[in-house]
Structure 1
């Protein structure tokens, strides 16, 4: 799985939990298992304000883009985040977690 992050200055937070091809985003479960190889699930078909790009499966891996709420003075790691590649099942570490725990 590849999770791309698109930062946006706005209040609130983001918590993402992963279990296989399912993500729980701020407490709401989304199952992307039905997305077939080469398939695209339009972002508009996912009832989640944080899923802002189409969900794709290529090479057996899901790829999606999530909105990342950040503060106006967020560090570079939050303002220009790297994609999250092959996160383990459980809580997905986000760059904003590092700032909150600093």
Structure 2
């Protein structure tokens, strides 16, 4: 399978695995074995919110090709929200290695301790 990722501001985790022509998304099995070479099916026909409705699922040279929505947030890394090149995952079997689009952890700054002031307010005896 060749899975193209489309960044989208949608809620929910995206976990998927592939076993032959069966794609499992968040526990829902989607059997794509019925799509023969040279034919295509609109993404909307699958009925899963992660398939891009306006794109097609098609078999090209024996390989299923389709586009899935990749959940991103407004503060996800720019390389996932607006990639310079489409992100394509080529996988035959196993867990789909989606990129981690979670926002970066904010850097925590530790305050610099102030120097201790002497008890006499900094005055020196005469």
Same fold (TM over 0.5): yes
Deviation at 1:78, TM superposition (A): 2.1
Larger helix fraction of residues = 1
The answer to whether structure 1 residue 91 and structure 2 residue 95 are counterparts is: yes
| Counterparts of residues 40-51 of structure 1 (less than 5 Å) | 40-51=40-51
Q: Distance in 2 between matches of 1:96 and 1:15?
A: 11
Larger strand fraction of residues = 1
Q: 2:67 is matched with which residue: 33, 41, 65?
A: 65
Secondary structure in structure 2 of the residue aligned to 1:95:
coil
Secondary structure in structure 2 of the residue aligned to 1:78:
helix
Structure 1's unaligned 5+ residue stretches are none
Structure 2's unaligned 5+ residue stretches are 106-126
TM-superposition CA deviations, 1:18-76 (whole Å, max 9, x none): 10111001111001111000110111211101111210001111100001111111113
TM-score (norm. length: structure 1): 0.86
Identify which of structures 1 and 2 has the higher relative contact order when contacts are C-alpha pairs closer than 8 Å and 6+ apart.
Answer: 1
Q: Distance in 2 between matches of 1:36 and 1:27?
A: 25
Greater Rg by CA: 2
Secondary structure in structure 1 of the residue aligned to 2:34:
coil
Q: Distance in 1 between matches of 2:72 and 2:13?
A: 8
Q: Distance in 2 between matches of 1:78 and 1:28?
A: 25
